[in-house]
């Protein structure tokens, strides 16, 4: 029996299996059906429902026999039609020098009405907009807003490689170190995080090779050790040991020594530069002196500085690793000093200056002066290869409205270069000079927790943690923020930040979603206020575009529905790097394909496809959260790379979403992206009996009399066979 609820309705099927796909007759109340069960048999019952509220609903089912009964409750979450646009507006509340501050209007980029007169296209999917204002004390970020922080919940990025898993590890680690250093770490948070760090470490060791190196992906047909990834792992794991938690989490010195010995073997003994045998996934590591079309990667300033910095931070190596470290770091230092005047790239100069400062080089002061000459000053101070425009401010009737951030094609570049520069300033105890740098890093947040991608975000986090640790007045800070929204009339909400909740982000939900938020802050200290808005759109021209031109081409080469009732989808997305004028190929590229509800492709099938070598540059394929993700070493210019996907209907879902996201981007510079959509009108037009999704359908009797399977508990299996008729609320509400 399906229990009555305010959250969903039962889909009724008329005589002879007649039912509408778009507007079926629905019933409310307890719905019962009887099933005859032979001894030891199993019968699957599909119960079609339609959610009538958005978000998550709770479904209650009961199964009774003459001798036994059982009941189950399950949660089912639904999403709106269309492709989601994410928009973010960061703002720093600075009450260090003033006791109160009138907060500016943060514009919500959603019109009050979803239609325009005489226009057919909706401006957005009605009901889909969401807006939340997050407020947190200090300048590090929102802290542990999830039990475990990863690239998905901090960046909305997948994490299917060694570097990305190490980012997850590092993000949690440095938040722990920040809380510990500022006496805000609670025992329960420490224990929960250490448990996750242990699991992340075990996952990381799956990428380790016998020689102590780490490969970017597990599925290479031949070992492909990466100097860059190995240096990153050494840097982060060395920071993880702490006497206060070594009984619960501990990194063996032998593990660090093995990584160090491997890195020693990657140095050119003649020049002192470090070499990379694996593909250069991050274009910032290419360096001006790196040749792409052959194996001549010996002269690489950025990689050499990266490895040198990792070695200098890893000061607890022992034995052979310590001996070779002393030798290779001196050679690397000499190499960078020798070529210091040859370095013209801003990122190379920033990371080289940082590495030479760590090494105590006599040339570090010269490098620092060169770095200062490269800074860009606007409202704040930052370093980049070209100007990154400040976040827009629109003035209406003399009132400034802060606009959401736009994507630029050098965001990750600028953030990472600026983070290295800020760390250098902090090493030189130039604290007052770092505040405008710190504030610029805050303006570059694209989510509550991070900036553009993994490398830039983790370096920004490290720089912000080091800055925050120097503030000794934190215990005295107390801020009260009052938030209003024009769409909510006279309603306002106050958020208090003090020592009891300083690192914990507080949320204010804005509904209806339109207009702007504003408010006032008073007290003392610094805080971050950020507004996150999302809205779904149905047309390609409404998808947020890349900031400057098109860096990738993406299209669907083959799209076919086969099988009974379109039960099989065959789709071949193709992508190509389109900026051959910049470089002959992209960095690590990712294709994300969102999958229609009810269709499945398994991870073992995708992994076998990646391992097959059918697509030479495809290194990993995975599925989660209703999307398929493909990772490529790179995409070439003027040559499309295609992947084949077969999706099979596992769950009979009818009248589903029409639009689905298809996107490609450079993982380490995601401002270089192309997002589009593909339509599945055939699936939208299917009604519930065309997918055999109800026990009422007269022509799908096999659903009620399937072959027996071994089951420990038949009633539980009966209850688990609930069908969601429509996963897309807009079509029914």
Cα–Cα–Cα angle for 133, 594, 658, rounded to 5 degrees = 90
Residue 150, pLDDT above cutoff 90 = yes
Q: Which of 455, 693, 460 is nearest to 565 (CA)?
A: 693
How far is 627 from 662, CA to CA, in rounded Å? 9
| Alpha carbon of residue 535 to chain centroid | 18
- Of 495, 473, 467, nearest to 482 by C-alpha is 495
Tell me the chain's radius of gyration from C-alpha atoms.
28
DSSP at 206: T
Nearest by Cα to 661 from 633, 689, 625, 636: 625
DSSP symbol at 398: T
Instruction: Give the pLDDT of residue 701.
Output: 63
Phi, psi dihedral angles at 204 (to 5 degrees): -65, -40
| Each residue's pLDDT tens digit, 697-727 | 888 764 434 444 444 443 333 333 444 444 3
**Rounded Cα gap, residues 700 and 101, in angstroms:** 66
Please give the pLDDT value at position 299: 62
pLDDT (0 to 100) of residue 472: 86
The helices-and-strands tally (H runs, E runs) of the chain is: 15, 30
Confidence category of residue 582, pLDDT binned at 50, 70, 90: confident
**600: which strand partners?**
648
Confidence grade of residue 220 (pLDDT, cut at 50, 70, 90): confident
Taking residues 672-694, report their average pLDDT.
92
pLDDT tens per residue across span 99-145: 888 999 999 999 999 999 988 999 999 999 999 999 999 899 999 99
Q: Tokens in use for 292?
A: 């792409």
In this prediction, residues 275-286 reach a mean pLDDT of: 90
Question: How much is the average pLDDT of 283-296?
Answer: 62
Cα dihedral across residues 204, 208, 214, 218: positive or negative: negative
Query: For tokens 């070209």, what's the residue?
Result: 386
Distance CA 575, CA 637 (A): 10
pLDDT range class, residue 205, cuts 50, 70, 90: very high
List the beta strands (DSSP E) in 583-650: 589-594, 599-600, 618-624, 627-632, 641-642, 645-649
- Percentage of residues in the chain having pLDDT higher than 90: 77
Please state whether the predicted TM-score (pTM) of the whole model is above 0.95: no
pLDDT at residue 294 in the model: 52
Q: What is the pLDDT of residues 488-509, one digit of tens each?
A: 998 899 999 998 999 999 999 9
- How confident is the model over 346-405, as pLDDT tens digits? 999 999 999 999 999 999 999 999 999 999 998 999 999 999 999 999 998 889 999 999
Degrees to nearest 5, angle at CA 632 with 631 and 638: 135
Instruction: State the average pLDDT for the chain.
Output: 91
106 strand-pairing partners: 402, 517
Which range among 28-32, 147-151, 448-452 shows the weakest confidence by mean pLDDT? 28-32
Chain centre distance of CA 500 = 29
Q: How confident is the model over 617-645, as a mean pLDDT?
A: 96
Coil, strand, or helix at residue 270?
coil
Residue 686 has pLDDT above 60, yes or no: yes
Chain CA centroid to CA 467, Å: 25
Q: How confident is the model at residue 180 (pLDDT cuts 50, 70, 90)?
A: very high
Q: Are strands 722-724 and 214-215 parallel, antiparallel or unpaired?
A: unpaired
CB atoms near residue 539 (< 10 Å): 14
131/115 Cα distance (integer angstroms): 20
Residue 140 near residue 464, CB atoms below 8 Å: yes
Q: What is the length of the chain?
A: 733
DSSP 362: T
Domain boundaries, the chain: 8-80+689-731, 547-684
User: Which residue shows structure tokens 């420990």?
Assistant: 712
User: 35-80, pLDDT tens digit by residue?
Assistant: 888 888 888 889 999 999 988 999 999 999 888 889 999 999 989 9
For residues 332 and 305, give the distance between their C-alpha atoms in angstroms, rounded to a whole number: 8
Residue 292 has pLDDT above 50, yes or no: no
Span 547-684: which CATH code?
2.60.40.690
How many CB atoms sit inside 10 A of residue 149's CB?
A: 26
CA 446 to chain centre: 10
Q: What is the pLDDT of residue 174?
A: 98
Torsion of CA 415, 418, 423, 424, to 10 degrees: 160
DSSP one-letter code for 217: -
> How far is the C-alpha of 34 from the C-alpha of 472, rounded, in Å?
70
Residue with tokens 């109340």: 29
Band (475; pLDDT cuts 50, 70, 90): confident
Please check whether residue 372 is in contact with residue 405, taking contact to mean a CB–CB distance below 8 angstroms. Answer: no
Quote the pLDDT of residue 676: 94
CB 526 within 8 A of CB 96: yes
Structure letter (DSSP) for residue 350: H
Helix or strand holding residue 479 (H, E): strand 478-485
pLDDT (0 to 100) of residue 282: 95
User: Helix crossing, 162-181 with 454-469: angle to 10°?
Assistant: 10
């Amino acid at each position: 029996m399906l229990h009555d609820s305010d959250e969903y309705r039962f889909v009724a099927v008329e005589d002879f299996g007649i039912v509408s796909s778009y507007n079926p007759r629905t019933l409310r109340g307890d719905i019962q059906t009887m099933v005859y069960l032979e001894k030891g048999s199993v019968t699957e019952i599909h119960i079609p429902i339609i959610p009538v509220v958005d978000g998550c609903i709770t479904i209650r089912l009961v199964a009774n026999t003459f001798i036994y009964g059982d009941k189950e409750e399950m949660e089912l979450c639904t999403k709106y039609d269309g492709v989601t646009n994410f928009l973010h507006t960061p703002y720093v509340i600075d009450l260090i020098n003033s006791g109160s501050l009138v907060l500016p209007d943060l514009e919500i980029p959603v019109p009050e009405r979803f239609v325009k007169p005489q226009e057919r296209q909706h401006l957005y999917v009605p009901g889909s907009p969401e807006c939340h204002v997050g407020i947190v004390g200090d300048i590090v970020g929102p802290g542990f807003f999830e039990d475990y922080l990863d690239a998905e919940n901090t960046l909305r990025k997948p994490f299917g490689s060694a570097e990305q898993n190490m980012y997850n590890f590092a993000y949690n680690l440095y938040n722990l170190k920040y809380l510990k250093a500022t006496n805000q770490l609670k025992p329960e948070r420490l224990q929960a995080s250490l448990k996750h760090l242990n699991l992340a470490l075990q996952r990381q060791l799956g990428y380790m090779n016998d020689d102590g190196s780490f490969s970017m992906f597990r599925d290479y047909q031949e070992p492909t050790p990466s100097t860059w990834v190995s240096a990153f792992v050494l840097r982060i794991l060395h920071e993880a040991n702490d006497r206060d938690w070594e009984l619960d989490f501990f990194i063996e010195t032998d593990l660090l020594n093995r990584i160090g010995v491997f890195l020693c073997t990657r140095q050119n003994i003649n020049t002192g530069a470090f070499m990379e045998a694996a593909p250069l996934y991050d274009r910032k590591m290419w360096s001006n002196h790196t040749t792409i079309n052959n194996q001549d990667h010996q002269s690489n300033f950025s990689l050499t500085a990266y490895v040198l910095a990792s070695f200098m931070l890893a000061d607890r190596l022992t034995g052979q690793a310590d001996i070779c470290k002393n030798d290779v770091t001196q050679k690397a230092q000499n190499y960078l000093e020798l070529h210091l005047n040859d370095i013209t790239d801003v990122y190379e100069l920033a990371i080289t200056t940082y590495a030479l400062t760590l090494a105590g080089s006599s040339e570090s002061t010269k490098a620092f002066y060169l770095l200062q000459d490269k800074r860009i000053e606007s409202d704040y101070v930052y370093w980049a290869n070209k100007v990154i425009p400040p976040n827009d401010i629109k003035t209406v009737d003399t009132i400034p409205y802060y606009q959401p951030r736009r994507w630029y094609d050098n965001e990750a570049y600028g953030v990472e270069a600026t983070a290295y520069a800020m760390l250098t300033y902090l090493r030189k105890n130039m604290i007052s000079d770092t505040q405008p740098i710190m504030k610029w890093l805050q303006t570059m947040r694209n989510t509550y927790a991070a900036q553009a991608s993994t490398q830039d975000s983790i370096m920004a986090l490290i720089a912000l943690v080091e800055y925050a640790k120097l503030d000794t007045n934190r215990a005295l800070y107390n801020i009260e923020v009052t938030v209003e929204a024009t769409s909510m009339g006279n309603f306002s909400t106050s958020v208090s930040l003090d020592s009891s909740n300083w690192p914990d982000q507080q949320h204010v939900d804005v509904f209806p979603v339109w207009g702007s938020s504003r408010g006032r802050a008073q007290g003392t200290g610094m805080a971050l206020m950020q507004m996150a808005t999302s809205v779904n759109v149905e047309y390609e021209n409404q998808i947020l575009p890349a900031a400057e031109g098109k860096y990738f081409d993406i299209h669907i080469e083959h799209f076919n529905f086969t099988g009974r009732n379109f039960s099989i989808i065959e789709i071949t997305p193709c992508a190509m790097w389109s900026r051959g004028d910049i470089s002959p190929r992209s960095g690590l590229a990712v294709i994300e394909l969102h999958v229609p509800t009810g269709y499945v492709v398994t991870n073992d099938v995708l992994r076998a496809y990646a391992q097959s070598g059918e697509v030479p540059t495809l290194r990993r394929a995975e599925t989660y959260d209703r999307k398929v993700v493909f990772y490529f070493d790179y995409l070439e210019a003027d040559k499309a790379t295609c992947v084949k996907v077969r999706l099979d209907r596992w769950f009979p879902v009818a009248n589903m979403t029409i639009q689905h996201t298809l996107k490609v981007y450079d993982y380490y510079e995601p401002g270089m992206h192309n997002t589009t959509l593909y339509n599945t009108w055939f699936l939208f037009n299917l009604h519930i009996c065309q997918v055999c999704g109800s026990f009422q359908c007269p022509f799908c009797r096999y659903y009620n009399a399937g072959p027996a399977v071994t089951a420990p508990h038949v009633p539980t299996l009966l209850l688990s066979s609930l069908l969601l008729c429509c996963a897309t609320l807009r079509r029914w509400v």
